[in-house]
Every structure is written in C-alpha cells, then in structure tokens.
Structure 1
Amino acid sequence: MKNEPLAERTAPRRCDVAFTVDGRRVIAAAGETVAGAMLAAGERTFARRYGERRAPLCNMGTCFECAVTVDDAPLTRTCLTTVREGMDVRTDV
C-alpha cells in the first residue's frame, strides 16, 4: 500500500446509480446515501445558509447541515436520503 495520508485513500466503489448535483452528473452505489455519494464525488459544500458554507456534520439526521433540495423538496437531509436514478439535487437552499 502506498504511503499516502489516510484521508487521501479511497476504496473501489460500485457505481450503479446516476443523479445530478447542480446539473453535474454524479454516480453512486445503489443503497448509498446522497451525502455519502456527494462526499465521494468531491463535493464539500452542500448549501449556503446565513452566508456560510454547509456540509454534513452529524450524518444521522439531527443537525440539518446537509439539507439540500432534492427533486423540488426543500430541506431534504442528504444523510437520510438514499440515491435514486435520475434524482435532481440542488445545493442552493
């Protein structure tokens, strides 16, 4: 194994589902959460509220920091939402 920082290491992922984040195509494993798929795709800012960038904090649905608009449903918590083929995610909450 290479001598790379732990945070830089990645594991192979099956990518069965495609959806969009702000018009950009993202692929994910079936059963994965939207938050997990977005993080794996390199997304670090999920929303901007109160003039600050937001991203997942608790990953269990209590903090709403990862809330985005999914298929026109605002304030959808990405850590609790499973990816679906063709879903449209907007981070401009």
Structure 2
Amino acid sequence: MSTSPLPETVTVTIDGTPSQAWAGQSVTAALVTAGIWPLRRNPVDGRLRGPFCGMGVCLECEVTLNGRPGSRSCTAHVTDGMDIRTHTEPLPTVAHG
C-alpha cells in the first residue's frame, strides 16, 4: 500500500500576517483553516459575509488577491507568497445633507 505525499506547505500573507497553507488548495480553505470565516462586508447593509456556494457563483467569498480586488477565493488556488486581503473593515458612512 502506497501513501500519497503531503501537499507542499507555502507561506501566504493574510491581512498582513504571514500564515502557512497548502499549495494548490483553495484560498477559501486556507482562510477557514486559519480561523477566518467572514471575508467581506455586504455593501448594502454592512453585515459580515463568508463563503456560501463554494463554486464562484454567489460572490460572497470575494477578497483581494495579490492586489486584485474582486477575486473569488473559492475558485482561486494558493501559491507561495500570495497576498490575501479580506474586506471585513467597517464600511465608510456617507453623510446625507
């Protein structure tokens, strides 16, 4: 009986903090493994949102990858040195006059 080799461990940066992940795993899986579930805020009501469909349709998993906003973390794959930015900071308020 043969065993499969373990995936290569690589370093990624999540919201400015270095973290370990498996090369080739989905970015969503790497984020959830790192204990990060909310990935962005809903632009309409400001509620925190996390991965939902897991196949790139719902857009709830959008993050910024290597400076590219609007990346779907569930369909993107981890690479060494990847910079991942979630969008969970409070949304700016607009003053109404």
Q: Structure 1 length normalisation: TM-score?
A: 0.79
List structure 1 runs of 4+ shifted beyond 3 angstroms. none
Whole-angstrom CA distance in 1 between matches of 2:8 and 2:38: 22
1:14-33 matched pairs, under 5 angstroms: 16-33=9-26
| CA RMSD across the alignment | 1.6
Equivalent residue letter for 1:36: A
Whole-angstrom CA distance in 2 between matches of 1:85 and 1:79: 17
The count of residues paired between Structure 1 and Structure 2 equals 81
Equivalent residue letter for 2:72: R
Unpaired runs of 5+ residues, structure 2, are 1-5, 89-97
Whole-angstrom CA distance in 1 between matches of 2:8 and 2:35: 15
Unpaired runs of 5+ residues, structure 1, are 1-12
The equivalent of 2:48 in structure 1 is 53
